[in-house]
Amino acid sequence: MTSNRVSGGICWGLPLRRGDCGSLVEGVGTLGKLSQLTAATFPARYTQMFERGRSKYCMRRASPIWAAALVLAMLCTSGCLFRTRPVEEQYSKAPLKESSQQGLIDGINQQAETIRTLKATVDIDTSLGGVKKGHYTDYKEIRGYVLARKPASLHMIGLMPIVRTTAFDMVSDGTWFKVWIPPKNRFVLGLNQVATPNTDQALENIRPQNIYEALLIPAINPDPGVEIAVMENGYEILHDAKGHRVLQDDYELTIIHRYGAGWRLSRKIIFGRTDLKPHRQYVYNEDLKVGTDARYAEYKDYEGVSFPSRIEIVRPQEEYDITLNLLKVEMNHPLSDDQFVLEQPAGAEVVHLDRPQSSQAAPLGQKQ
């Protein structure tokens, strides 16, 4: 152990005789004032303090420590230990609304109960591709029509630009789906849960049921034995008029669903704090990957129902992105069964996705 007493030839760990460290003691007492010295005056005072007889020995033995102190003092006076830079993000100054977890759940369930049918004229923006495909293909905006009816029926039609002939036609009853693609002369049908990504025929990856679930956010089951919802505070990244990033607080509702004997992450709904409405919804697959990433914007009043006029639906696994810009919306008007029927066109190539790969395609009417 190193002694701190000045006696018996020990002076802060240095083997000196009595009386040799007087100036060193004086110098150590001065160390606390180093921050007040400037880089210009410090060397002169340092030399004067120790130019006394045998105290030169102390200075030589302690020179590494004093050199470090000198460097530190010079850095502190010159400001080289830190720098100031502007913050790239800023917090939104918009007034925020408060809600409880139950308040958010009630809002979702009330909206789900209010909307029984939806009929909309839309402009459809579509982008296909991603990392798996190696590139993106953006399609020109087309006009389309969407019919939705509880509990799970959807009919969606897209029209070719200018000529307005059918680009695609798809229906689903919640269990089965059918997709007619006239430009390819292909008619695809199968179960909604069948996932067979086809990078060559990207439109065949679109499932009407995925669009339905993003379009009409499902209710949260109030039975805690079926679903559990947990709320947390987060933030979303927005952009101001100049394109600067703006952070704004949000509410995030995570929903855990019971599947068989276990529990699994089902959905996450993001609520904006300025209006307490859903701004985003993540729907998770069985492997806990994001199956659907839906974004909701520009809420408007349609026949007494507040509903987003812009809905972007991203399917990252199948690598397609569909944006619906709602032009005209009718809420809760009667829709008949025949409005959700899609017949197989004569002469079309039929693809059964629920069958083995070798027998998927066959001309209509041919037995397999």
Alpha carbon 165 to its chain centroid, in Å, reads 37
pTM above 0.85, yes or no: no
Tell me which residue of 87, 90, 85, 86 sits closest to 238, measured CA to CA.
90
58 in Cβ contact with 14 (< 8 Å): yes
Q: What does the pLDDT look like over 242-292, one tens digit per residue?
A: 888 889 999 999 999 998 889 999 999 999 999 999 999 999 998 899 999
DSSP state of 7: B
CA distances from 238 to 90, 95, 104, 242, 247 (A): 10, 15, 21, 11, 6
Give the span between the Cα atoms of 30 and 28, in whole angstroms: 5
Give the mean pLDDT of 164-191: 92
DSSP string, 148-181: EETTTEEEEEEE-TTT--EEEEEEE-SSEEEEEE
Q: What percentage of the chain carries pLDDT values higher than 90?
A: 52
Alpha carbon 222 to its chain centroid, in Å, reads 27
Q: What does the pLDDT look like over 215-227, one tens digit per residue?
A: 999 999 999 999 9
Give the span between the Cα atoms of 67 and 352, in whole angstroms: 81
Q: What does the pLDDT look like over 15-34, one tens digit per residue?
A: 444 444 444 444 444 444 44
Handedness of CA 132, 134, 138, 139 (dihedral sign): negative
Give the span between the Cα atoms of 368 and 362, in whole angstroms: 8
The more confidently predicted of residues 143 and 92 is 143
3-state secondary structure of 278: strand
**Which residues lie closer than 8 Å to 11 by C-beta, 6 or more apart?**
20, 21, 24, 58
The residue written with tokens 């969606």 in the block is 156
218: how many CB neighbours lie within 10 A of its CB?
18
Tell me which residue of 273, 198, 268, 264 sits closest to 226, measured CA to CA.
264
Q: Please give the pLDDT value at position 309.
A: 98
- pLDDT tier for residue 4 given thresholds of 50, 70 and 90: very low
Tell me which residue of 131, 173, 170, 126 sits closest to 149, measured CA to CA.
173
Bond into 308 cis (ω within 30): no
- Longest Cα separation, the chain: 114
Bond into 151 cis (ω within 30): yes
Give the span between the Cα atoms of 274 and 60, in whole angstroms: 68
Residue 109, pLDDT above cutoff 80: yes
Give the mean pLDDT of 181-202: 78
Q: What percentage of the chain carries pLDDT values higher than 70?
A: 71
Q: Please give the pLDDT value at position 77.
A: 61
Tell me which residue of 127, 120, 164, 170 sits closest to 142, measured CA to CA.
164
The more confidently predicted of residues 6 and 333 is 333
Q: What does the pLDDT look like over 40-86, one tens digit per residue?
A: 454 555 445 445 544 444 445 556 676 766 666 666 565 567 788 87
Residue 318, pLDDT above cutoff 90: no
Q: Please give the pLDDT value at position 241.
A: 80
- pLDDT tier for residue 90 given thresholds of 50, 70 and 90: confident
Q: Please give the pLDDT value at position 33.
A: 46
CA distances from 129 to 141, 157, 193, 199, 321 (A): 17, 21, 21, 8, 9
- ∠ CA 238-277-291, nearest 5°, is 75
Give the span between the Cα atoms of 165 and 186, in whole angstroms: 15
- ∠ CA 127-131-135, nearest 5°, is 50
Work out the burial of residue 167: count CB atoms within 10 Å of its CB; fewer than 13 is exposed, 13-18 middle, 19 or more buried: buried
The residue written with tokens 């400001």 in the block is 79
Q: Please give the pLDDT value at position 73.
A: 65
- pLDDT tier for residue 332 given thresholds of 50, 70 and 90: very high
Element holding 272 (H helix, E strand):
strand 262-272
Name which of 14-28, 54-68, 114-128, 129-143 the model is least confident about: 14-28
Residue 14, pLDDT above cutoff 80: no
